[in-house]
A and B are shown apart, each in its own frame.
Chain A
Amino acid sequence: MSLLYVRRDMLAPQAPPTSQSGIIRWLRDNLFKGPFNTILTLLAAWVLYELVTLSWPWLSNGVWSDANSMADCRAIVAASAGPDASGACWAMIRERWPQFIFGFYPPALWWRPILAFGLLFVALAPVLYSDNKRAMSWLCGVVGALTVLCLIGADGFSFHTILAIALFAGLTAIATIKPRALLAVTMLFPFVALWLLWGGSVWGPITALLGFTVMVVVYGFVAPKLGPVMGASIGFIAACLWWLFVQSYVSEAWQALLPFQLTYVNSDKFGGFLLAFVIGVSSISISLPLGILLALGRRSDMFLVKTLSVGFIEFVRGVPLITMLFTASLLLQYFLPPQTKFDLILRVVILVTIFSAAYNAEVVRGGLAALPRGQYEAADALGLDYWQAQRLIIMPQALKISIPGIVSTFIGLFKDTTLVSFVGLADPLRGITTIVRADIAWKGIYWEPYIFVGAIFFIVCFGMSRYSMYLENKLKTDHR
């Protein structure tokens, strides 16, 4: 008997049997795999059905316009869906929109926060898309167009609209031609925003900026003699002295010489999402570098630096944020010289920053601990000094590992800005909503403002989360 076998004609590929592919296969694998999974699927379907049937009439009967009070809403719902039907009253959002966004900011000046908000994205562009020119110029262009539209919506076609068009056209051109120059916008933005939001003399922010010049100059003098750490510390102290004791006189002198100012807006006029963004953005941008320094301090060999960092981090993490906010609003005033006018929002920003810096420090420390010792040794062996090694070798890798944790802290911080309602600031969730619900016209409204505010928070936080995933993907170079 021969063992020879030879195939004469090759088989063509055939479609798989229907049980092995397509929707039936998917359903069986994902929904009805075994009796237990089938029961769970049916149970989940039933819960979903109940939820939808319960809320659907309320949502579908919703009133979006033509109502200026709860009574109007009820009348419209009753007319369209019968006397016992329930319906959402979204018209409240339309009527109270400015308050949710701007708080009590004077309507004639709304162009200022709008412009500042638009510029925020231009300032963020080179940070968020450092190596993507196209994304940068697209972001600038789109944000510019939206800002102009918002400005027209806020106070018609005016001088501010033309100013914004010129400004954003220029910035988009810079982003397209010389993207690195946008970093200058990023540096200047805090001072421009400060001036736009609070107003007052233009010399205030300019002299505040000069504080940093003082820091750099002092650093330049001290660093070559006493080393970079001493240079930075003495520079920082010099800048603080400038801000506390010299700045106001210089600013007033220039204002007397060359007066140029915007109408001053007091901090108690801030509210709603304007307030949430002011606190959120400034705390986020300061707390990350502060957290990095604290993490480095905690891993330092120097006993005093290490002890101070550990003490700071553990103390701040151990105290509830609300306690710190009360400290900001009540206690801090006692410790400062009696004449110091220390703005409540500034105080809150400082405390929230400190709070999230402590959390960031621990997240970054986790990233640092994950780096193999060999990376430090290779950097040392090549002759890089401590700060060069940190900046070029250690931090790029440690921060990449820490991205999910850092973004979690940021998201937490942004949502925690609503806690400022405890110290009397009008945050969007509790502050503004309480004001709306206390209004005679909207008495009885309950779900709608919370759903609205929650949805906006969700959009912002989800955006941050998606960006962090984009960043993680972009920085993936380990090819594991």
Chain B
Amino acid sequence: MADPAIDRSKMKVSDEIAIQITNMNKWYGTFHVLRDINMTVNKGERIVICGPSGSGKSTLIRCINRLEEHQQGQIIVDGTELTSDLKNIDKVRSEVGMVFQHFNLFPHLTILENLTLAPIWVRKVPKKEAEETAMYFLQKVKIPEQAHKYPGQLSGGQQQRVAIARSLCMKPRIMLFDEPTSALDPEMIKEVLDTMISLAEEGMTMLCVTHEMGFAQAVANRVIFMDQGQIVEQNEPREFFNNPQSERTKLFLSQILGH
């Protein structure tokens, strides 16, 4: 089913572990939102996480850069364990890029300033160098001509591509995508997915919460299905879509692929 146009030559999964989650539990107040999550992500993996709304998939990837705090178990990202130690949290956050559903660009800064802000202040990169890197990534997401505009002047698809470029400017080793196309008009979804595909082609480790099943089939090497805060099924994409095992997965797939 793989798209022949996609270059899979660099999409190699290595043996090195990027993220290790063991026996992780999380509660919102008394609500048990993530239940006994165990998961290992190797370097170079492209994982798509899907599931019905409220199944905890966004919460799971937000735990990986500690936008949400877990209460039990262990999360180790690139060798650093996430605890309440602020130093570890900042270290992990600067290694892990995140793309949000609503882009979350900084509206008071130009596109270029959005891209150079974190490298300059967190990585202490000289301004000129940061701007060169920023222009390089803007070129990659194909909107270098927008560098001096403000986010409010761009379309949704362009804003999301800027958001991806903003994360890339920090040279992250892992990228998290939290429903990156859910807030976009149908005609803009493709441009964002294209950007994500080219990122996968370069061997980036990616965790992606999305309902774009075409993307999952084309790019992912593993699909994880979650329901009620737990991992219900995971498999390689072809098997996952053609031969789902659990009843819950079958129901979910029939509902999203039903028409």
Contacts and interface: CB of A to CB of B under 8 A. Distances in A.
B67 A392 contact: no
B125 to A, nearest CB: 13
A380 interface: yes
Interface string A343-385: 0000000000000000000000000000010110110111111
Contact of B104 (A374, A384, A396, A397): A374
Contact of B98 (A381, A385, A396, A479): A381
Given A374-B100, A377-B100, A383 B106 contact: no
A393 interface: yes
Interface string A203-220: 000000000000000000
A383 B67 contact: no
Given A383-B90, A383-B94, A396-B108, A477 B100 contact: no
A9 interface: no
Main secondary structure of the interface of A (DSSP, over half): helix
Nearest to A382: B118
B4 to A, nearest CB: 35
Nearest to A396: B108
A383 B174 CA distance: 14
B245 to A, nearest CB: 34
B196 interface: no
Contacts of B161: none
Residue among A372, A383, A477 with most chain B CB within 10 A: A383
Contact of A479 (B100, B104, B150): B150
Given A383-B94, A384-B122, A475 B102 contact: no
B108 A397 contact: yes
A477 B150 contact: yes
Contact of B166 (A380, A382, A384, A479): A382
B117 A382 contact: yes
B65 interface: yes
Contacts of A480: 152
Contacts of B104: 372, 374-375, 377-378
A375 B98 CA distance: 13
A388 B119 CA distance: 12
B82 interface: no
Contacts of A479: 150, 152-153
Contacts of A385: 86, 90
B105 interface: yes
Contacts of B121: 384, 388, 392
Contacts of A477: 107-108, 150, 152
Nearest to B110: A477
B150 A378 contact: no
B120 to A, nearest CB: 9
Contacts of B19: none
B93 interface: yes
Contacts of B166: 382
Contacts of A381: 65, 67, 93, 96-98, 100, 167
26 contacts: A374-B102, A377-B100, A381-B67, A381-B93, A381-B97, A381-B98, A381-B167, A382-B117, A382-B118, A382-B167, A383-B94, A383-B122, A384-B117, A392-B121, A393-B106, A396-B108, A397-B106, A400-B108, A475-B108, A477-B107, A477-B108, A478-B107, A478-B150, A479-B150, A479-B152, A479-B153
Interface of B: 65, 67, 86, 90, 93-94, 96-98, 100, 102-108, 117-118, 121-122, 150, 152-153, 166-167, 170
